[in-house]
Every structure is written in structure tokens, then in C-alpha cells.
With several copies, the nearest count.
Chain A
Amino acid sequence: MDLDYTTSELMAVAGARELKDGEVVAVGLGLPVVASFLAKRTHAPHMTILFELGVIDPQPVEPGVGLADPRVWYRANVLSSFVDILGSVLHHGRVDVGFLGGLETDRFGNLNTTLVGDPRGKFRHMIGSGGANDIASCARRTIIIMRQEERKLRESISFITSPGYLSGGSRRAEAGLRGGPSKVITDKAIFGFHPETRELMILSVHPGVTLDEVRSTMGFAPLVPDPVTATEPPTAEQLRLIREEIDPERMYMG
């Protein structure tokens, strides 16, 4: 087994480590799928995986192009509906972790997947919410996974599709929302949020990445601990599972 790993693999493993056994996890497609299946096959066998359109705990044998692909529903325990998954599980308050990707996020973990500025100063409409707003509003905590670039981690985003801590502090709770983002996992670092101000803060920097690289690929200055620790690398078994069983065609891992 080649113990070198890609940043995607590191991100998936970092995501998996956030999930505890027995938890109920609402999953969007891409890296969150790999992270969730990896957790379920290692330390969290009793975790429940939900896809918003009405799928619980599938056992895919091939990767799919998205949630609409029956490959992703294969051998599910339950095939039901939005009202069942997003209503009686998520809105009821039973989802421990929401796992979201994003196009843009800001200092307080607010996510934009709706309108992004283009170089000509116009806005481009992207994909909107789907279940992301519901998950960000109702899950006990959310984990955001995204590539880190200055235009993606911005001081201020143009549209809040899925609320994080809004303008920080206690604003989210005051708006009547439970939960909130707990982690942002990028290809450079893992971030948390300050327990009071709710500002983004570095928790660990990935092996081989410098603190400067982290800072220079963001549109704002994050809180920085001293000393800065390094993200734990993937184990051989985690890499084997990703490469041989979960995403052998490297469809999710890019």
C-alpha cells in the first residue's frame, strides 16, 4: 500500500474522524459520501447515513453521478421521501451531523450555493439549496468540506443559502436556529469556531502545508492557536478502504 495520499484522501479521512458510532448523518454527495462510508466501515458501524430524497443506509457497489443516481440507493434499508428524511428525522431533531459541501463560506460558516459574483461584476446563479439549508438549520452540528481558495473563504459572501453563525456570537441561537457548523475541512487545514465569537479558527494544518499557505489562501484572517498542530494523516487501512472499496474508480476523490 502506497502511504502517500492525496489531499482529497486526507480530507475524506478527516471528515470520517468527525463522525461517531451511532450517530445519524445527513450526507450530500462527493467527499461527504466517502467520509461517511469510511467511518461506517471503520469506527462507526452503527452510524446511520441519510440521503435527503428518501434513502437510508445504502450499500453501493458502484459510485454514482449524484443523489439522483440509483447506484447510490443500492441496497438501502429504507426508500421513502423528503418528508420522511428531512421531516421526521432532520426537522424532528434527530440528525446529529449534517455534512455539506459549499461554493463559498465566510468567517462564521455561512454557506453560499446560490449566487456567486463573476469577474464581469455580474452574479451567476448556481445550484441553490436542495436540502442544504434544511440541514444547516436543523442538524445538531454541521461539517463543511470544501477546497480552500481566497475566492471561496471570503470575508463576506454574496448570499447566505445555508446559515452558519450568521454575524457571529449568539446571533444564530437568537434567530431560533439550533446547532451550527462545528468544523470546516479544507485541503489545507481543519478549522473550528471560537466558542463565543463563533469566528473561524485553525485547529490543525495538514502535513506539508505551512501556516502561511493556509492564511494566504483565505480572504480573511482566521484565529490561530499557538502552537499549531498537524492534522493526523490517514492510516493504511483507511487508504485501502477508500481506494479499493469505496471509490475504486476515483469518482468522488477527483
Chain B
Amino acid sequence: MGKLVTLAEAVASIPSGSHLALSGFAITRCTMAFAREVIRQGIRGLTVSQCVGAMDADLLVGAGAVERLIYGGGSLDRFGRLACVNRGIEGGSLHAEEYSSLSIAFRYLAGALGLPFMPIRSLVGSDLLRQLQERSGADVASIKDPFTGESWLALRPLSPDVAVVQVQVSDEDGNAWIRGPRWDNAEQVRASQRTIVITERVVPGDVIRQDAEQTVIPGLFVSHVVKLPFGAHPASVYRVYDYDAAEIKRYVEATRTPEALQAYLVETVHGVPDHAAYLEKIGGQARLSELMADPGLGY
């Protein structure tokens, strides 16, 4: 029952066509090494969901691994927009279902708690709702409050096959802490059939047990634990390392055209066998040392 595996082994557990909930938010705690390995293994036809679209989803879309994206909009913060996602939507190759942050969070929450649907005040009156309603087999419906008779919008629960969550600290059973805000990650884990934890540090279970209020991910939800320092690079992991601004800028440049992206993928994904080789490629220890978080500031 050992859950501690290599990244390649964890990724190999994911069939093409799966629905993945990814933990990234813009440029922080993105599952970047995981996304690169998914591309390397040729897994395709994925459905990807997250509240706010992030660099991990954008890279997977750019590499053609994603068929369907369920999200609340997103960007790379000041570095730019999600160029691959946007090109996919504009060209029609990506089936994107666009919500707001809360409506995705509520869909995860409904999935987490085993609820049949979730009422919400958002989306009403917007073209986001109009687009969602026009889809066949819509995931939105209207419902009447049995107590007041008032009409409400209802959202269908999200139940991803796998949540993939980049965390700071985990034990070997996947009991994991998340430092900083957790955005949708706790609900993603609970809504999903199972979770893959990608962790910067593995600590003995005794450490987790000393401060169990911090355990955002209980091990019972977790199928695989991957120990992978700098697993979010070039995104940041709060209290461990900062985002790599130069490398994100290079990504933004590379995603301006499909051709440039192909060259980038050859260099950073297909041309390196694994995460360790990737880290060497982008500058190795010298570069990574500069990204290490200040223990006081946390970034």
C-alpha cells in the first residue's frame, strides 16, 4: 500500500480522457512538473478544471492534452493572459466552459459533500450563463426554493477523477499541509475520486500529528504521494520559493505562436527525460537558489 512513488509512476496512473482538478492559481502552486510529465507520457483528451485558470492548465492546453476546460477565467497575473487557452477557445479546438470563481468552487463543494446540486446567486443575467445554458446537457438548471418559492440557479456538482495538488508538506500517506491561502484546493480534493499529492517536502507522520489542525488534505483521499522539490517551477510555492519571473516571461513569449510553443516544449518537456533534468536545463541549483523564499517574508 505504499503511496510514495515517482512522478512518472503517479502520472502513469491517469488514463487519457480523465478529468483532472489542478491546484494552480495563476502563477502559484501550479502543477507544472506534473503537467510536463503528462505531456511527456502522451496522455490526451483530458478534462481539466480549476476555479481560476493557471499556468498548469495553459501548458497542458498548449501541448494539446486537453479537450475540455471547466474554469472561472484566468491569467498569468501581470505576466499576461492564458495564451494557449485563449487560442484554443478562439480557434475552436478547446471546448471551454466558463464560469466564475465561486460557481466552480460551489460545484466542487457540492461534489465534495455529496450534494445533488448547489444553488447560487452568481452568473444570473450574464452571458456566461447564456453560454452555459446553450450547451447540450447543461450543468446549470433552475430550481425553486421549497421554503420561499423563490427561483434560484442550480449548478451540477463537479466530480473529477483525480485532483492533483501541489503542496508544501506531506507525510507518506498523503496527509498534507497547505501554507498560505488554499483557494479551491480543499474542495477539489474532496470532490475528486482520488488525489495525487505533489509535495516539496515529505515529513514523518509524527510531524503532521503534532499540528493536525493544519492538515488540509487527509491521507484517506490520496492515492499517490510524489516528493518533488521545485515541482511548481516556474510558479511559486509560498514559504518555499518565489515565482521565476524570467522563466514565466520566456513562457509568455513562447506561447505567442504555436511554432514558438513547439520549440519551447521540445526544450523544456520532450527534450528532457525528467524533472531533475528540467531543473538542470533551466539553470540548476544556481538559479533555484535565487528563488528560495525568505523565511520571514515567505516569498
CB–CB B73/A113 < 8 A: yes
In this complex, how many residues of chain A approach chain B with their Cβ under 8 Å: the count is 71
B205 sits at the interface (CB 8 A) = yes
In the complex formed, the residue of B with least CB distance to A65 is B78
In this complex, how many residues of chain B approach chain A with their Cβ under 8 Å: the count is 82
Q: How does the 8 Å CB contact mask read for B144-164 relative to A, with 1 for contact and 0 for none?
A: 000000111000000000000
List residues of A (61-103) whose CB comes within 8 Å of B's CBs: 61, 64-71, 73-84, 86-94
Q: Provide the residues of chain A in CB contact with B181, threshold 8 Å.
A: 51, 53-55, 73, 76, 79-81
Q: Provide the residues of chain A in CB contact with B190, threshold 8 Å.
A: 84, 88, 92
Q: Provide the residues of chain A in CB contact with B79, threshold 8 Å.
A: 65
Q: Provide the residues of chain A in CB contact with B286, threshold 8 Å.
A: none
Other-chain residue from B51, B128, B206 in contact with A82 (beta carbon distance below 8 A): B51
Q: Which of A31-39, A147-155, A160-168, A220-228 contacts B (4 or more CB under 8 A)?
A: A160-168
Q: Bound state CA distance, A126 and B81, in angstroms?
A: 7
Q: Which of B41-49, B104-112, B250-258 contacts A (4 or more CB under 8 A)?
A: B104-112
Q: Which of B5-13, B119-127, B133-141, B276-284 contacts A (4 or more CB under 8 A)?
A: B119-127
CB–CB B187/A81 < 8 A: yes
Q: Bound state CA distance, A90 and B120, in angstroms?
A: 12
B74 sits at the interface (CB 8 A) = yes
Other-chain residue from B128, B173, B208, B219 in contact with A114 (beta carbon distance below 8 A): B128
Extra A-B contacts (9), CB below 8 Å, given A54-B181, A70-B239, A90-B102: A70-B238, A74-B297, A83-B105, A88-B190, A127-B74, A133-B123, A137-B125, A160-B127, A163-B124
- Chain A to chain B contacts (Cβ below 8 Å), 28 pairs: A61-B297, A65-B243, A67-B26, A70-B180, A73-B238, A76-B209, A77-B219, A80-B215, A81-B182, A82-B187, A83-B184, A88-B113, A90-B102, A91-B121, A91-B122, A92-B112, A114-B73, A122-B90, A127-B74, A129-B100, A129-B128, A130-B101, A133-B123, A134-B100, A138-B121, A161-B73, A175-B124, A177-B124
